[in-house]
Amino acid sequence: MNAMPTSRVVSESPGPVESGDTADAPKRSRSVTRERLLDAAAQVFAEQGVAGASVEEVCERAGYTRGAFYSNFATKDALLVALLDREEGLLLDRLSAALDGALSQPDPLAAVAGRLFDLQPFGASKYALRAELTLLAVRDPDLAAPYLAARRSFRERFVPFLREGLAQAQLELIVPADDALDTLEALFDASVRSSIISGDANARDNLATRMLPVLLGAMTRPRA
């Protein structure tokens, strides 16, 4: 039945990315399979969109067959929901990690801006995935609730961070913090998108770095 010599599937380590396969793993846990399928789904959905991607290709990319898939997820939609949950968590974690030390830098704002751009979530693939998921929320009211919930936790996590960072620079906001965050996010997204489409994906000189100081200047004033 199995033409191939027993199985190749796993290279473990939840680390990023794909591998050709490698060592045979003696212990294949269910959760590893799930994670690999989710990793693959993130890639494939980013490249082709949720509707454009087939379960088959997700499985192939992960090194499994559809049997493995349906043994782990009820349907394609269920995969999407699981992916949504996971991505939200990952984004929060990575942003947190990247920003954590930044406030103690001499120039916190510059440090923040610099680190953000080295970050995976702003790479082409992650950008496309986020854009795709956002678009799904725009279209489908059922996904609006989870989307808004995710946004809420994002804000709750980063509004204090923003305030604190500004405070250390002796600044305070003169606009609602949520508005400030939304505006900055919009700026970053536009910048990343533009860089991707025009090809210079890693350009150090981009819309966000040019406009960030201007916008921050407009949204703050010297602290009382």
Return residues touching DNA (CB under 7 A).
1-7, 9, 26-30, 32-33, 53-56, 59, 63-68, 70-72, 74-77
Q: Residue 153 touches which of DNA, its own copies, none (CB < 5 to 8 A by kind)?
A: none
The residues, any chain, with a CB within 8 Å of residue 67's CB and separated by 6 or more, are none
Cα→Cα distances 203→118, 187, 193, 211, 221, Å: 11, 15, 12, 15, 30
The residues, any chain, with a CB within 8 Å of residue 111's CB and separated by 6 or more, are 101, 102, 103, 105
Kindly tell me which of 59 and 109 has the beta carbon lying closer to DNA: 59
Choosing from 137, 150, 162, 166, the residue that interacts with its own copies (CB under 8 A) is: 137
Q: Residue 116 touches which of DNA, its own copies, none (CB < 5 to 8 A by kind)?
A: none
> Residue 124: which H helix or E strand, with range?
helix 124-139
The residues, any chain, with a CB within 8 Å of residue 47's CB and separated by 6 or more, are 53, 125, 128
Footprint on this chain of its own copies (rule: CB under 8 A): 47-49, 51-52, 124, 127-128, 131-132, 134-135, 137-139, 144, 147-148, 175-176, 179, 182-183, 185-187, 189-190, 193-194, 196-199, 207, 210-211, 214-215, 217-219
